Structure 1
Amino acid sequence: MSRPPSAFFRGAREMSPALSLLLLLPFLVVLFIAFLLPVGVLLHESLFVPAATLEHYARVFDEPVYLRVLWRTIRIAALVTAICLVLGYPLAVAMARARGVALLLLAACVMLPLWTSVLVRTYAWTVLMRRNGLINDLLIGLGFTDAPVRLLYTEGAVVVAMAHVLLPFMVLPLWTALRAIPTDYARAAAILGARPLRSFVEVTLPLSLPGVASGSLMVFLLALGFFVTPALVGGPQQMMIATLISQQVRELLNWPFAGALVGCLLLLTLVLVAFFNRAMRLDRFVASS
């Protein structure tokens, strides 16, 4: 018996555009209410309050303090991305090669931080890096210093704490890309005389670039908008652009200028996504992975 034709369902593996749109509708509504509408309101105020003007955007580039905050944000995000890549790649390789209990333990080490509040993880770093914290006690006990070293409220503290928080977002895409590489490739390279290092450089690394690109982009963009960790670990001296936007909104009530900062951050994000999409061919990498 043949099934009656349906305008929404065409087969077991195919859905009509109408049904696809219907399934996406709740997500699109949430996206509009939680992201597009607030950002649109801020951008409108930055351009049309008190009148149609670009003075708020000009202020961002005219006053050196805001350019320093923007540059510090980009620099810290780049450092965090590099650290996460250096630390996350070996871990992802180990996870891709592990089996059974070893894989479960490694996956638990990566996933458990995601189940813990960012605030709790950040506060743990403040406890470790304060003047009488564990790190200073260890440095003094080992004889590296005679007095406590200033660790908190420095750029290094912000980079380390953010790298710890964002590391899982680098490991998971890398693990997915490495797990998709057939093990026969490495064995074939060994049969042809390639040493392990050359096999990794010429076979494994190029095939894992989809994970490198997606993980780096995810970590970098998340780091650009990080708020809690820089505010607690870095303090006012290491202010990033998300903290500056919050200050303009909550303390100074300068919504138009906050909207201009949001517009600059949004433009920077779009430029970076376009750069990754063009230079790393991110669309093709994601599709292949």
Structure 2
Amino acid sequence: MTAVQGMTAAAPSRATFDRIALLAAPGLSFLALFYALPLALLLFQSLRMADGGFGIANYVAFFSEPFNIGVLMRTLRVALLTTLLALVIAYPTAIAMNRAKGVWLTVFLVAMVLPMSLGVIVKAFAWSILFRANGALNQILQAVGLTDAPLRMLFTETALVIGAANVFLPFMVLPIYAVLQQQKAYLADAAASLGAGPFFRFFHVALPLTLPGIVAGAAFVFSLSVSMYVIPSLIVGETQQNMPMLIARSFLYLRNEQLGSTISAILLIIAISVVLGSTWLAGRLGARE
């Protein structure tokens, strides 16, 4: 009797789940039509060779060029440095937000969320103005006597990393802040009562508990940094190209669809690898926690 009641109770729940799953049909259809299908066509185009056949010749040709390898390495290096700089700035910011109350918490949240409503072009162009030879940064350095002449800041990789880290900073701060909000406030006090010092409490209590947020924020920032186009175009220009700029040049100027599709597919593979890797790592960290 009990088994029969369990089966009858399970049937409605399964039917309810099927009806709820139908709610995702419009969104999935939209993604399949306007996102998955273009990506599939892009991958198809990257495998199409000049003679009409299909193969990996386009990928072999891309990785056979030292220039392309240099662009790929530069893109990954800038993305990694941007992620590290954003993490260094975001972690103490997230801690301050977690401890802030009332008006100060509102100020922090507005400072993080409001810049996300501005266009990337506006923020990147603002940094390009600051980094100019007659920009505010050089004027301040000369006014305080640190430099005698304007420093070359614009069109450098350092300027690109700083500008990109500023633009993508909220995507690192908010995941770490969300994880900190879920932590128990008494854990650090409990560790201190057992004789743990500040460094021990940070590296053995606070930091391990915030690793899921760090992984999520790093995945966001790295994925955005590796695929940015507008920020490098305004800050470093054509002197230091990255993969998205190479894609634009292939499609718009060289009219080489195979090359552009191949580079796009490589970026897609990198993005998928970052998402899958971060998901796996976050799952492992969550299970360990």
Deviation at 1:44, TM superposition (A): 0.8
Q: Distance in 1 between matches of 2:141 and 2:260?
A: 42
Matches within 5 A, 1:53-68: 53-68=55-70
Partners in 2 of 1:119 and 1:8 — Cα distance? 53
Q: Look up the SS of the partner of 2:134 in the other structure.
A: coil
Partner residue of 1:245 out of 231, 247, 250: 247
**Which stretches in structure 1 are left out of the alignment for 5+ residues?**
none
Cα deviation, residue 9, structure 1: 7.4
Check conservation: 1:9, 1:16, Cα contact below 8 A. yes
Q: 2:37: which partner in 1? A: 37
Provide TM-score, normalisation by structure 1: 0.90
For 2:146, the aligned partner's letter is F
**1:143 Cα offset (Å):** 2.0
Contact 1:42-1:258 at 8 Å conserved across structures: no
5+ residue gaps, structure 2 = 1-7
CA drift of 1:139 comes to 1.6
- Alpha carbons of 1:286 and 1:191: their partners in 2 closer, same or farther (altered >3 Å)? closer
**Matching residue within 83, 90, 93 for 2:92:** 90
State the shift of 1:288 in Å: 9.4
CA deviation profile, 1:95-122 (whole Å, cap 9, x unmatched): 1111111111111111111111111000
Instruction: Tell me, yes or no, if the aligned pair for 1:8 and 1:19 is still in contact at 8 Å.
Output: no
Match of 1:193 in 2: 195
Aligned to 1:20: 20
User: Are 2:225 and 1:223 aligned?
Assistant: yes
Structure 2: distance between partners of 1:8 and 1:65: 61
Residue 71 of structure 1 aligns with an amino acid whose one-letter code is M
Check 1:94–1:285 CA distance in 2 against 1; reply closer, same or farther (3 A cut).
same
Provide the rounded CA distance (Å) in 2 between the counterparts of 1:8 and 1:241.
Answer: 52
By how many angstroms is 1:244 displaced? 0.8
Name the CA distance, whole Å, in 1 between partners of 2:141 and 2:245.
31
Separation (CA, whole Å) in 1 of partners of 2:269 and 2:83: 20
Q: Which amino acid aligns with 1:24?
A: A
Shift of 1:51: 2.1
Q: Percent identical across equivalent pairs?
A: 37
Tell me the CA shift for residue 92 of structure 1. Answer: 0.3
Once the 2 structures are TM-superposed, how far is the Cα of residue 191 of structure 1 from its aligned partner? Answer: 1.5
- Alignment partner of 2:207 out of 188, 193, 205: 205
Instruction: Tell me what 2:270 maps to.
Output: 268
Deviation at 1:55, TM superposition (A): 2.1
Aligned Cα root-mean-square deviation (Å): 2.3
Count of matched residue positions in the alignment of Structure 1 and Structure 2: 280
1:100 is matched with 102
